[in-house]
Chain A
Amino acid sequence: MSALTHSGMWRPAGRMVGHPVVRVVLRRAVLAVPLLFVVSALSFVLSSLAPTNVIDLRLPSGTAAQRAQLARQLGFDQPIYDRYWHWLVHALGGNLGTSYVTGQRVTTEIGQRFPVTLSLVIPTMLVMFVIGVGAGVASAVRGGAVGRAIDTLSLVGFALPGFWVGAVLVSLFAVRLHLFPAIGYVSLAQSPTDWARSMVLPVAALSLLPIAVMARQMREAMMDVLASEHVRMARANGIPPRLIVGRLALKSASMRAVTVGGLQVVGLLTGTLFVEQVFTLPGLGSGLTAAASTGDVPVLQGIVVFFTLIIVVINLAVDLTYTLLDPRMRTS
């Protein structure tokens, strides 16, 4: 402790910036391992309890011996922990098994479905940040009629279920006006314009809730900051409003944007289940639903673990952004 500390005038200054970033990444990585383990074990055990008719599917008219052999192949005679162990070993090697229904490798299926979900989720994220943050900040700064309008719109956006909105949009723009395709997916590689057209309605349906929540939260965060003591003092010192809002307030409220954004992106994974169904997009969400209804355990397990991985990555990104934004995190 320095002399200055003793004089009661000093507190120790912060450490170097680089270090905490490494610490954060390491901490998340370390936590991710047991998490993936627990989740995969949990879902494996649970899905194995699900009644499945895979044998009927594969061998609809097979003999008892053939059926028994298939059952042995699929490992149904082994105890659950052995089966899980086998799955885990294979998974670490990159093999997530094969689908009961299609016979296709699970990794291939995930590989096919992931880009579809990605083309849905990423534009939604962008829209959420741009429109949501923009609307929230604008309503906090402007106040009055604009504020009330955005407040009401937020509530509506929060209340309208995504899949229903999707249906309404399809009914209006696709069926009536023939502006956009109602269902189906065209990959980016195939035709960018068609891809974009097929994404407009799904993104619109999926993004309604995140925009509403983001706008609401940013509005509250900005209003809190604008009412805070340090903003009052900045005003007292003659700092013009555009600097107060643009630099001081925005930076202080950005933490909330990141927190809410992170939660909403995780929530988007839930939303894809319903939106992909309505628009018949062959993404991870509809894959999960199909696997659940048909009892396709390997696919179910594979997508669940993949989702968990995505969530881990999102949380890591959020933590890293915190470290960059909040000086207190760097020095504590």
Chain B
Amino acid sequence: MTTAAIVEPLDSGLAPATDRESTRLLRRLLRRPVTVVCMVWLAVVVIVAIVAPILMPHVASQNAGNIFKVLQGPSRQHLLGTDSVGRDVLDRLLVGTRVTMLGVVESVFVTLVIGVPAGLAAGYLGGRTDRAIGWLTDLTLSLPGIALVLVVLSIFPSSMLAGMVTLGVILSPFTTRVVRSATLPIREELYIAAAQVSGLSRFYIITRHVLSRILGVVIVLAAIYAATSLVTQTGLAYLGLIVPLPAPSWGGMVGDGISALTNQPWLIWPPGVAMTLTVVAFGLLGDAVRDVTAERWSGARVQRPGRRRAAPMAGAGPSPVAPAPASDALLCVQNLTVRFPSRGSVRVIDDVSFEIAAGETVGLVGESGCGKTVTAMSLLRLLPGDGEIVAGRITFDGRDLASLPEEQLRRVRGREIGLISQEPMVSLTPAFRVGWQLALSVRVHHGVSRRAAQATAIELLRSVHLPDPGLVARLYPHELSGGMAQRVAIARALAGEPKLLIADEPTTALDVTVQAEILELLRELQRDRGMAILLVTHDWGVVADLCDRAVVMYAGQVVEQAELNPLFRRPLHPYTRALLMSDLHNAPDLDHLPSIPGSVPKPGAWPHGCHFHPRCGYATAACRDQPIPLEHPTAGRDTRCIHADQLSVLR
């Protein structure tokens, strides 16, 4: 029996990524104009550092220049003026570049050579090695760094090498710490465990798998250290401790300028500007590398925070108004379409429509990438990043949420529509006690006193069946188990006594026995409060357990909508049908499970016509040619399939 059921075509939404990592990084860097300018400037500096002393060998030992032209400002003969003994400032600036940059190179080299291996060893090997290196790092960090540099310089007077090497050693614990904390999460990645199990040696894993991942961090560090070392080197040169006279250096020239400050204030500017420009160049380069390596994983270009259109707190604004619906359902979603401009402006959900009556539980079902979470989040306009509603209407209790101003929408959130999410442990603020956070919600929604809010908070905890609510209220989120945290999250969502609760995969992250209890709790709360629930999930068992109706989504669209029993008995869309059939719980005894060939198309790569047709056994030419509208074959049932009548009964 062949094992390759299907040879899958690979979707290449992006350009063929066959180039090496480093070339792609470089290309991305070069796309930013600011970065290019920085790199050019630094290249110029390096060239000057190498070339200038060769072209002007006399400058380094020049003790005095033209003593009749002392402390002159810029002129045609001396472009940057002359110093206190008549030497040309420009010449000295150019020649002094070498010693300045040499110091930077020495310091950065030492700190990386010590810090990177130490950080890698501490992070990867852990245990005793980590503790020993950590102890050494703490010790070095507690040393008065600059003082030790001075002490060393007093042993080796005017030796820049000694000073810069000591500086490198002083800076190395920072490197170790940063490299270590970058290594730790990589260490936990499963591909490291897989590499170990595959029999690769530790050295190979550290160099090929870990080091290549942290290279970006190391480059950023190098840039920052270059900047810091430059400032320190010039400072030490200013103090006269590292560059023996009469050799020029940028720091020394500043010193010269300070002593002549009252007579010729211009002198401090040429070296100062040179220093500042170079440090800025290092800093911007470091930032650019950091952004580019962050981009790599997300794919999209990282927006520098300043360039974001809307401020983080405001969220997407209201969308254009659409006509009001006829029905009197609690929530009526019509033709909802959402887009993310930063991700190439593709639509993530398209023409989504469904209704929820008061007290009803509706399941929004689909696999990952179908858009169910985006749909749920857009109801409260809580889309991540810069997602925006471009069309459609969300009628809730007579108002259109899609076009409501932010101020009013805020009053709907929590008070009329509640939300619980998938990961309960991270949905509560870690720095505050659980009871305090609940009481805060109560106060915000009902405006009661602190004491009354506290009492209500405890009542809420009791209503979600938490034993000893008084004790729980005093706990911090990290002290709760998963099930407890979800109960607390539910209690908080109920604080405003909402008419509708949006539950986004509330039990996915929980154990199955805990899941059963939470679903039971939701059922009970709904019964007692007459609350409607929109349950977003991928689990058909959960839908069967809790919901009255289900809305099935695929690739950004609603493909079917029906009450539970009719849906399970006879689905009217091939996708729903295939999904139900491939569910293990329906067929544990089968040798070969029915599966759907291919994979879900990503937004932007949706097929023309029916989004499901490439994977569908019932597809015809008509399915491919034009978009399929949502039809209503019988009351209470919607389907987006033109061959629905061909589908036989499932059970």
Binding site for B on A (CB under 8 A): 4, 8-14, 31, 35, 38-39, 42-43, 46-47, 49-51, 140-145, 147-148, 151, 155-156, 158-164, 167-168, 170-171, 175-176, 182, 219, 223, 226-241, 243-245, 247-248, 251-252, 269-270, 273-274, 277-278, 288-289, 292-293, 295, 300, 303-304, 307-308, 310-312, 315, 325-328, 331
Contacts and interface: CB of A to CB of B under 8 A. Distances in A.
A274 B238 contact: yes
B441 interface: yes
B14 interface: no
17 contacts: A10-B481, A162-B231, A164-B234, A167-B258, A168-B272, A229-B426, A230-B426, A230-B427, A235-B315, A236-B413, A237-B441, A237-B492, A238-B412, A273-B235, A300-B150, A300-B151, A331-B479
Contact of B414 (A142, A164, A230, A236): A236
Contacts of A331: 476, 478-479
Interface string B267-298: 01001100110011001100000000000000
Interface stretch (B121-129, B417-425, B609-617): B417-425
B139 A38 contact: yes
A147 B480 CA distance: 37
B411 interface: yes
A303 B511 CA distance: 60
B410 interface: yes
Given A163-B238, A295-B154, A269 B146 contact: yes
Contact of A155 (B275, B284, B423, B475): B284
Nearest to A233: B427
Interface residues of B, number: 94
Contacts of A237: 413-414, 418-419, 441, 444, 492-493, 495-496
Interface stretch (B429-437, B526-534, B550-558, B596-604): B429-437
A171 B268 contact: yes
Given A171-B261, A248-B432, A239 B142 contact: no
B444 A158 contact: no
Contacts of A13: 471, 474-475, 479
A158 B280 CA distance: 8
Interface of B: 138-139, 142-148, 150-155, 157, 227, 231-232, 234-235, 238-241, 254, 257-258, 261-262, 265, 268, 271-272, 275-276, 279-280, 283-284, 304-308, 310-313, 315, 380, 382, 384, 410-415, 418-419, 421, 423, 426-433, 440-441, 444-445, 467, 471, 474-476, 478-481, 483-484, 489, 492-493, 495-496, 511, 513-514
Nearest to B147: A304
Nearest to A143: B311
A47 to B, nearest CB: 5
A5 B19 CA distance: 53
Contacts of B279: 158-161
A4 B513 CA distance: 15
Given A13-B474, A237-B495, A240-B444, 17 more contacts: A12-B479, A14-B476, A51-B157, A140-B312, A144-B311, A151-B304, A167-B254, A223-B312, A226-B313, A236-B380, A237-B492, A237-B496, A238-B413, A240-B410, A248-B429, A251-B432, A288-B147
A159 B423 CA distance: 42
A293 B476 contact: no
Contacts of A38: 139
Contacts of B235: 161-163, 273-274
Contact of A43 (B147, B261, B412): B147
A233 B421 CA distance: 8
Q: Is the interface of B mostly helix, strand, loop or mixed?
A: helix
A143 B305 contact: yes
4 A-B pairs closest in CB distance: A238-B414, A148-B306, A307-B144, A143-B311
Nearest to B415: A238
Nearest to B511: A8
Given A9-B467, A171-B265, A288 B150 contact: yes
Contact of B151 (A170, A241, A304): A304
- Which of B152, B231, B284: most chain A Cβ within 10 A? B231
A147 B306 contact: yes
Nearest to B482: A8
A170 B257 CA distance: 12
B440 A252 contact: no
Nearest to A301: B151
A292 B151 CA distance: 6
A245 B311 CA distance: 13
Given A235-B413, A273-B146, A273-B239, A10 B484 contact: yes
A39 B143 CA distance: 7
A228 to B, nearest CB: 8
B105 to A, nearest CB: 18
B427 A8 contact: no
A5 B464 CA distance: 18
A152 to B, nearest CB: 9
B155 A49 contact: yes
B458 to A, nearest CB: 16
Contact of A238 (B138, B154, B496): B496
Contacts of A231: 429
A331 B477 CA distance: 12
